Structures are given as C-alpha cells and as structure tokens.
Chains A and B, each alone.
Chain A
Amino acid sequence: MASETIDARARSSRPPPWRDPRVRGIVLQVLFVAVIAAFFAFLVHNTIVNLRRQNIASGFGFLDREAAFGIGESLIAYTPADTYGRAFVVGLTNTLYVAVLGIVLATIVGTLMGLARLSGNWLVRKLAQIYVETFRNIPLALQLLFWWALLRGAALGPREAWQVLPDVFVSNRGIVFPVPREHPAFQWMALAFVAAAVAAHFAHRWGRERQAQTGQQFPSGWVGTGLILGLPLLVFLGFGAPLALDVPVLKGFNFAGGAALSPEFGALLLGLVIYTGSYISEIVRAGILAVSWGQTEAASALGLKPGQRMRLVVLPQALRVIVPPMTSEYLSITKNSSLAAIIGYPDLVSIANTTINQTGQAVEGIAMIMAVYLTISLIISLFMNLYNRAVALVER
C-alpha cells in the first residue's frame, strides 16, 4: 500500500524526461556505449580497408603454414617443418618456463634479502642494502645484456670446456649435464612423491589436532620430509635402482646428449631473478616492519623460539601486507621476460616477431602476443587474489 502511494506520488511529480536524472543517466550511458562501439567499429573497418588496399594478407590462416625457421631451444619437439602455430606454442612454453622458474627463485631471493635487510648483523644488513639499491636502479635490459656478455664471455668454447663435476661441463654454450635415461620407474616415483606429499599433509593436520587436544607435540616436519624423500627412494630401490645416465659427450662442434642450459636462458633467468628479487626484498621488509614490535615481544613472552616467532606470529600478519604488491611483481616478471628477445632467448615475443616478419601479418601477431600476456597475467592475478583472500584478515 505504502509503496504504491509513494510510487504514485513520484510519478505525478516526475519532471519531464529531459530533466529527469534517471532518464538522462540512461540516455547518456547508451550514447557513451554507442560512441565507443562506433569508434571501434570504425577502427576495425579502417584496418581491414587499409590492409586490403595495400594488398597485405590478413587472417589467421598462416598459423597452419610451415614455419620453415629454426628455434634454438624448445621444451617440446619442434623442427622447421612444423607450423607457425607450433612455433608460437614453443615460444609460449619457453616464456612460461622462464616465468615460473623466475617467480619461484625471485621469491626465495627476495625473501632472504628482505630478512637480511632486517638482520641484527651490520655487515649482512649493509650488503643486502647495497644489493637492493644497485639492482633495482639499473634498467633490466642493461642487466640482461651484462649477464649475457658475462656468461658467454666467462667460459671458453666447447672444445676447451671446463669440467666442474664429473660429466658436467661449462662452456660458452652454457652448462651441459647428464640426465637419467627414461625408465618406467620414474613415473612410479612421481606417483610415490604425490602420495607422500598427501600423506605428509594429513600427518601434519593430525599432529596439530593432537597437539591442540593433548598438548603433545608431533614432529610433523621430520616425518613429512622423511615421507616425501623416502617413499620415492623406496620405489627407486624397489625397481633395482635403474639409473642409466645420458652423459654429454663432445661430438664435432658441441656436446651431444645430456641436457643443457644455454647462456641466453641463464642470463634471462639471472637478470629477472636478481632484478625482481630486489623489489620483492623491499616488499618483504615492509611487510615484516608493518607487524608491530609488540607482537614479537608478546610471542617471546609466551616462550616461542625465534623461528617459531617468525613463522607463527609475524609472517602470517606480514603476508597480509606482502601478498598484494607481490602479485604485481609476479606479473612484471612474466611481462619483463619478453626482453628475452634482445639476448636471443626464443620466447613468445621473439618467435612472434619472426613470424610477423616472415608473414607480414603484424596485426594478427601483435594481437596474439597481447592476448597471451593478458591471459597469463589474469591467471596469475586470479591465483594471487585467491591466496590473498586466504591470508587476509577475516572480518567478523
């Protein structure tokens, strides 16, 4: 009843449409969307017309054509007889490979350096500070060229390679090392590893519950480590330790067999890790300093050891500050990996650039690069946001 009266009154007192804020709002929004849509329609139309006038090929048909160029390193099988589409996937896997490794290592380096900057030891503190101030203030591209020149200049050619360990050689072609030959035992070991990890997780939970109920402690750290290392080892021994190594041998120009890390990959990974690590260390330091000193003192008063203090009291609170800016750093590692092109690591951009150049299809090529980086970045953001929700303060 009441609402009807109000409605009726509102209707009777409603101003003419051109003065009604609601109507005006809707009209303006529709107009705005229409203008944007028209603008993009114009751009797309113009692109097509211009490309056609210059007789430049368009469309994604080129992805099925033979690429006919070689790629230096690839995680998946690739020959010049494969398609441009496959070459693109090779670039994508190379980008993901260096980005994932870079994220893990930069987190470790950054955390250690962040803790070192808070160390009570003057020397450690100052060294960490010098590291941070040096590497975050030099452009990454220069650092990459520096590491690359260093890595390829520091060692000799493969024929005079330096044997650091038995069958591990360092030369200006990178590091070559033996890898175990394929054997079914390895799949079972991987399975055992996963099983052990799950078991360790439950053992840890059980131990915590028991401690909460009875106060008795359970050495879940040791038990978990034992499980995770021991179970795969048992499987390995159960198969009769089938360790046949694929050993690198000097053959002609270079080493054949084994696995290799190229100087380009090494320089890119090193550059990304050290550069981003310097930013991460500041984030970690800020996060830890954001937890008030009273928390540490309170933890000490409860009798927690320094390690426990950090792990159980300070870090969980620091993570709330650390995680959101960390997301940006992870995103920037992924995007900065595109600088690979200047030192010749065949990442996505490098391969897409070659493709663009050989096919002349810049619009499609750039669109694909943008779409891929956008997708990767959004996925990283999604996971980091989920994680952030998990560590964030739960408000009641």
Chain B
Amino acid sequence: MRIKGFLGALAAIGVGLGLGGAAQAGPTLDKVKQGGLVCGVPTGIPGFGMPDSQGKYSGLDVDVCKAIEAAISGDPEKVKYVPLSAQQRFTALQSGEVDILSNNTTWTLQRDTELGLNFGPVVFYDGQGFMVPKKLGVKSAKELNGATICVAPGTTSELNLADYFRATKMDYKPVVIENVDEIYAAFFSGRCDVISGDASGLAAQRSGRASKPDDYVVLPERISKEPLAPVMRHGDEQWHDIIDWVVFALLEAEEKGITSKNVDDKTKSDDPTTKRMLGVTPGMGKALGLDEKWAYNAIKAVGNYGEIFDRNLGPETPIGFERGLNNLWTKGGLIYAMPIR
C-alpha cells in the first residue's frame, strides 16, 4: 500500500510536470458531468467508508459523495470510489486523480494553505482518543507513560500524539503503519499497548474488527479537535461552492424535517425556504450552475444529515454512536447550515 502512496506522490510530480493534465483551474464540474464524480474514500473505516463483501461502498463519507453526484447528475450510482490511505489522499487530490476527498480528513491551517487544499463544511465533529485492551487496567490517558502506541502515518493523529506526550512530559514509542488492516492487526495481536486515532474511528473499528469488542475500551480523554470535512483542490471556486451548499442542503433538510421519504410531499410545502431549496421556487440551482432539482435529488438519494448519521453510525447500527456534538444546533449540537437563499 505504501508503494501506492509512493506512486501517488510520483503522480503528483507527474501533474506538477504537466503530464497528468487534470489540474486545470475551474472546470471540475464539467469533468464530473461527463465522467461521474471520482471520490477519494477511506480504505476501511466502518460507518464512514468501507466496502462490503461485494465491494459496494457505504458509510457517511460515501453518502456525502453520493449526495454531490445526485445534485449534479441526479444519479448517485455514478460515483467512482477510490480508496485512499491517509498518506495517499492529498497527493491523489492534488494530482487530479480524484475530484473530492471524503476521507475523514481533519481541517487544519497547514492543509488549507501549504497543501493547496480547500475544505467544505464539517460533516463530523470528532476528537482524538486512545483505545486500550481492558486487561491492561488503564483508566485514563494520563497513565500511558512508556506505552507503545499504534498510529497511522500522515494523519493529524500522529502529530497530536507527539504534542500530547510532550505537553504531559510522558514517553511513548510509536509504531507507524499505513495500511489500516495491518495496523489494527498489530494492535489486536498485542504489538501495541494502545491505538490512537479519531475516537469515532476507534469505536467503529472496535465493533468492526475486534473478535471480542468488549475486551477493548476507549479512554475518556479527547486530546484534540478533529473537524472532519470534505476536501477539494485550490483554484475551482464554483466546485467549492457546490460542495458547500450540497452539504448545507443535507443539514438544512434535517432542520426542516425533509427526509428521503417525504421529499416529494415537501415540494408542495408552503414554506418559502423549503420551496427555494427544493427548486419549486427556481434560482438556487442556477446560481450554483446546477439543475434546479439539485437539493431534491441529493435528499432523495441519501436522505438528510440525520438519516445519513442514523443509517451509518447511529444507535441502530453495530457502531451505535450518540449524536453528541453532531446533533443539530437547535438540539445542542454543532450542526448548523448557512441560509439557503
């Protein structure tokens, strides 16, 4: 897999050299309209982006891509998924191999600037945590002095980990492996005492991969803020706008009670915001350069944000997350859509 990362980096050079030719500023939308959205998803995080036994991708990250494709072409099945490791993803995006990263990517200053990326709206508020086997008897991250810790390279987790242990004047030994399967195999086989990453991901992997999920516990501390958002290249403002507003439409739909089931009825609604969003009152689609049914199609395809969350991560799923920070602002969370008008 690392070799692929290397090739990805080479591809980035190729593009830098003008051989890839995909990095034009502007016409991402035209390209997507012709060939379908190429979406960079995680190689395997249950609930966020993971192929099933038939190779069909599902998860919150995947649904974001489906919503965008549906808003553009009306057909969410036209998305092409490219699984990318944490190390491969940015070069793949920079080089034009993918049109968007929906890959549990934390929004940071350096990525936003020096890596030449743009971030869309946050789709999941997360924080970095630690998972340990219960039998170690560890109750708090403050007891982790001297631990061996598995962590994925090229992530903010790798950096936060170093920061946290420096700040608390503790020692640790990182074991850094790019391949998600390998790093969890290493942790569950006992090569590391601790595995660190986004807390949601840890809990999801525990339910997805551990032979006995109850033998592992996620420690209470959150050592960082991890706002996860879709990512685009610099230089295509229209594309940035489309991503922003498709995501906002999904959030707004939950607030307005529009679901994939009742969206047809809602087109008859008298609420002016709903009418504008669903294209009954035209204008919004044209402003984005999309069909007036953009939001209608997106919601019809994947449902509103609440439906997406419940389907992939909610209490009914094996992962069983509470909404917490990811609840609507009206219900004490941070999910807040900009006004669609």
- Chain A residues in contact with chain B, CB under 8 A? 42-43, 46-47, 50-51, 53-57, 68-73, 79-81, 145, 149, 152-153, 156-157, 172-173, 251-254, 256, 263-264, 341-344, 346, 349-350, 353-354, 356-360, 362-363, 365-366
Contacts and interface: CB of A to CB of B under 8 A. Distances in A.
B189 A153 contact: yes
A79 B170 CA distance: 12
B287 interface: no
Interface in B203-241: 233-235
Kindly name the residue among A70, A157, A349 whose own CB sees the greatest number of chain B CB atoms within 10 A: A70
Contacts of A256: 146
B173 interface: yes
Contact of A342 (B2, B91, B173, B175): B2
Contacts of A153: 189
Contacts of B183: 344
B209 to A, nearest CB: 16
A131 B117 CA distance: 51
Contacts, number: 168
Nearest to B12: A362
A356 B12 CA distance: 11
B1 interface: yes
Contacts of B146: 251-254, 256
A363 B2 contact: no
Given A54-B234, A152-B191, 10 more contacts: A51-B116, A55-B235, A70-B172, A80-B166, A152-B190, A157-B190, A253-B136, A350-B176, A354-B158, A360-B94
Contact of A172 (B94, B177, B190): B190
17 contacts: A47-B18, A56-B114, A57-B114, A69-B159, A73-B173, A173-B148, A252-B146, A253-B144, A341-B178, A342-B182, A343-B182, A344-B175, A349-B6, A350-B176, A353-B87, A356-B87, A360-B90
A35 to B, nearest CB: 17
B161 interface: yes
B186 to A, nearest CB: 7
A139 B10 CA distance: 23
A290 B147 CA distance: 55
A288 B153 CA distance: 47
Contact of B2 (A47, A157, A349): A349
Kindly name the residue among A53, A55, A152, A366 whose own CB sees the greatest number of chain B CB atoms within 10 A: A55
A156 B13 contact: no
Given A253-B147, A360-B90, A342 B16 contact: no
A394 to B, nearest CB: 44
B12 A363 contact: yes
A342 B18 contact: no
B82 to A, nearest CB: 17
Given A50-B15, A56-B114, A70 B189 contact: no
A358 B154 contact: yes
A77 to B, nearest CB: 13
Nearest first, the 5 closest Cβ-Cβ pairs linking A and B are A357-B154, A360-B115, A80-B162, A46-B18, A341-B2
Contacts of B109: none
B340 interface: no
Contacts of A350: 2, 153, 176
B9 interface: yes
B1 to A, nearest CB: 7
Interface string B191-209: 1010000000000000000
Contacts of A71: 174
B26 to A, nearest CB: 11
B23 interface: yes
Contacts of B234: 54-55
B226 to A, nearest CB: 16
Kindly name the residue among A56, A353, A354, A362 whose own CB sees the greatest number of chain B CB atoms within 10 A: A362
B76 interface: no
A337 B16 CA distance: 28
A365 B9 contact: yes
Given A47-B16, A54-B116, A349-B2, A69 B162 contact: yes
Contacts of A156: 190
Contacts of B191: 152, 172-173, 263
Contact of A254 (B25, B115, B153, B173): B173
Interface in B1-33: 1-3, 5-6, 9-10, 12-13, 15-18, 23, 25
B173 A51 contact: no
Given A54-B233, A156-B190, A72 B175 contact: yes
A54 B23 contact: yes
